[in-house]
Structure 1
Amino acid sequence: MDRPAFRIYFLHPRFWPLWLGMGLLWLVVQLPYRWLLALGRGLGWLMYHLAASRRHIIERNLELCFPELSVAERQRLLRENFASTGMAFFETAMGWFWSRKRLAGLGHIEGLEVLRQAQAEGQGVILMAVHFTTLEIGAALLGQVQTIDGMYREHKNPAFDYIQRRGRERHNRDATAIERDDVRAMLKVLRNGRAIWYAPDQDYGAQHSVFVPLFGIQAATVTATTKFARLGKAIVVPFTQSRLPDGQGYRLTIHPPLKDFPGENEEADCLRINQWIEQVVRQQPEQYLWAHRRFKTRPAGEAKLYRKKG
């Protein structure tokens, strides 16, 4: 996709509230980093009390995935997850508005040699990630030191879409934004020996998925990782990120490539991926995006696991 370009149309009065909000956010994120984390916790506390529908989804996911925890333990995890989500709001703005130098000081990257070796060999890479709340700032930090292409879904508000894309690409100027459904472009990028960020941990429906266990629950799991790896002749490299305690920044870890992947069949590959996802989520469950209805799609004949909206 082409780089986002500013349009005079974005100055229309209908966009003034957006520009005002972005301006205020820019001012706020000039505060010291630890202050922003504290503000994020406060925002998380507010969302916990006001966002009832989101709270119910997270509660249900924690109940399904951590039945071994007591109600009190899950409630503590729930509150910490909201705090993490609140911090993510300001972390996103930091990624969009901070200078490269200021942001770079927060990143601690391990395993970068894996990507650089693949790049030197002209080997395409699927950087297999997970939807942690640190997703945006992690991408910004990694993009400062290594070109990573990404899947992209255009926002309905064109002015916000411009701000979002510009904020994401400013740290990763050689990157390509690929429409989420543009499989042909995805394969072309991989065959050209580039690395692309991809997270297979959400429910995209049954059409292109198989049901395999995740936290002991049958979950619709996309088979695209296998297809992209095979058709794009790419290796799959797991990637994790973590918000460190006490305002120490973020650890980004690029793990060794998966061996013998793709495997015997798509179902075995999806099971292997889900087992990895479960493992890394258990290491920092408070930082995972539990607000997604991961088990929405059910096998034929199974009851729904979430309450109806409304």
Structure 2
Amino acid sequence: MIQDHPPAVSGLSRTLAIFSKLPLRLLQWLARLVATLMITMPSAKALKTVSRNLQIVFPELEPEQRHQLAKKSVQAQFQSMLEFVKIWGSPPQFSIGHIHQVQGQQLLLDAIASKQGLILVVPHLGSWEIMNAWLNQFTDIVIMYKPSQNQALDQFVLTARSRLRATLVPTDESGVRQIFRALKQGGVTAILPDHTPETTGGIYSPFFGCPVLTSTLVSRLAQKTRCHVLQLSCIRLPEQGGFSIVIEPVDRDISSPDLQQSVNALNHSIEQLIRRHPEHYHWSYKRFKANPQLENIYYVPENQVAPAIASARQAFINKD
């Protein structure tokens, strides 16, 4: 008999389904427990990457302060991961019911009502997945989606997406064209802007004072469509067991016709958000190594980090 799905895929599907039925607070507790156990392992790669990123962006902190922040960050990221499973496996009303605070909602409603198009900038911070159902109360959204290499996880996420008024487009030129058309027609898109793009799709821009390869997608779309651009973030509220959404304008230079100035504005807005909630940002991503001068930054001794960053920064300044 030919199986439709390999046993490993079926097993993961069942595991995801079971975890999604557990209470949210229990999942958050389990995430903190697993993260705490992982942090105690000397070879914990996640903690090492997080610690190095924090050394790069917060050199003014004492080593012990960075260590404590790194531990909180790893715990927060594990919580986000299990929160995503819960959100994907639950009806939209679950997410909506756990949004306890919203700041800046009128900015969102006014931008949607203007019919001029709206880009929602959503950095990898907090539990951003829970915002999808909440946003779908007000508008349809066009979202880029890159299928996971894990078949079970991909199907699990797609099933969740199908419950929402969201149009999924591929992460390629055809997807960009669909987003462009939607914005020109007054539609809404949500973009996670803080990943390392292909070289052809990015330029170097300061991020915590360090030049990093940054996607130009948000800037180019904003320039071509003259649409609104707002930043969204979602932070968990430990005492209340829910989440808080903040909607705020992106730095006004995002609409600058100068691409460098626009991308700088985007990174500046993301940086300001992270400074308010540093433990909630997903620091496990090796974003800084995309700079050719920093390709070994995650492996050099601690005393070589500051000189390497200073050199990369000076090279960026000299370029101009």
Q: Quote the residue 1:57 is aligned against.
A: 49
**Counterpart pick for 1:165 among 119, 142, 158:** 158
Candidates 21, 27, 49, aligned match of 1:30: 21
Pick closer, same or farther for the CA change 1:287–1:126 going to 2, 3 Å. same
Equivalent positions of 1:38-49 (< 5 A) are: 38-49=29-40
- Deviation readout 1:48-88 (Å, 9 max, x if unpaired): 35673322211110110111111111111111111111211
Report the Cα distance in structure 2 between the residues aligned to 1:233 and 1:202, rounded to whole angstroms.
23
Tell me the amino acid that sits aligned with residue 179 of structure 1. P
Tell me which moved more, 97-106 or 195-204.
97-106
What is the alpha-carbon distance in structure 1 between the residues aligned to residue 29 and residue 155 of structure 2? 29
Q: Check if 1:245 corresponds to 2:267.
A: no
1:216 and 2:209 matched: yes
- How many pairs are equivalent? 295
What whole-Å deviation, never above 9, does each CA across 1:186-243 have from its counterpart, x for those lacking one?
A: 2112112111111222222433322222111111122222211122342211212211
Question: Structure 1: any 5+ residue segments left out of the alignment?
Answer: 1-8
Q: In the alignment, is residue 195 of structure 1 matched against residue 188 of structure 2? A: yes
| 1:225 alignment counterpart | 218
Secondary structure of the 2:147 match is: coil
Give the Å deviation of 1:105: 1.9
Distance in structure 2 (CA, Å) of the matches to 1:120 and 1:93 = 32
SS at match of 1:126: strand
Quote the offset at 1:295 in angstroms.
0.8
Residue 70 of structure 2 is matched in structure 1 by 78
Residue pair 1:125, 1:195 contacting (<8 A) in 2 also: yes
Partners in 2 of 1:197 and 1:34 — Cα distance? 28
Cα deviation digits, residues 12-35 of structure 1 (max 9, x gap):
241x33333332333334333322
String of CA shifts for 1:264-285, please: whole Å, max 9, x gaps. Answer: 4111111111111111101111
Normalized against structure 2, the TM-score is what? Answer: 0.83
Structure 2 distance, partners of 1:200, 1:132, is: 11
Structure 1 residues 63-212: aligned runs within 5 Å:
63-107=55-99, 108-170=101-163, 172=164, 174-181=165-172, 182-212=175-205
Q: Find the counterpart in structure 2 of residue 3 from structure 1.
A: none
Cα distance in 2 for partners of 1:66, 1:197 equals 29
The sequence identity of aligned pairs, in percent, is 27
The reply to whether residue 267 of structure 1 matches residue 260 of structure 2 is yes
Would the aligned equivalents of 2:13 and 2:153 in 1 still touch at CA under 8 Å? no
User: SS of 2:296's equivalent?
Assistant: coil
* 1:304 paired to 2:296: yes
Partner-residue secondary structure (3-state), 1:246: coil
Change beyond 3 A, Cα 1:41–1:140: farther
Query: Do the aligned residues in 2 keep the contact of 1:263 with 1:269 (CA within 8 Å)?
Result: yes
Q: Which amino acid aligns with 2:87?
A: G
Equivalence for 2:277: 284
The structure richer in helix per residue is: 2
In 2, the alpha carbon distance for the partners of 1:35 and 1:81 equals 19
- Contact in 1 for aligned 2:20/2:87 (Cα 8 Å): no
Q: SS state of the match for residue 286, structure 2?
A: coil
Q: Is the 8 A contact 1:203 1:293 kept in 2?
A: no
- Between the aligned partners of 2:161 and 2:33, the Cα distance in structure 1 is 25
Cα–Cα, structure 1 residues 262 and 131, in superposed 2: closer, same or farther, change >3 Å?
A: same
- Give 1:122 deviation, angstroms: 1.9
**Cα distance 1:82–1:258, how it changes in 2: closer, same or farther (>3 A)?**
closer
Task: Report the residue type matching 1:203 in the other structure.
Answer: T
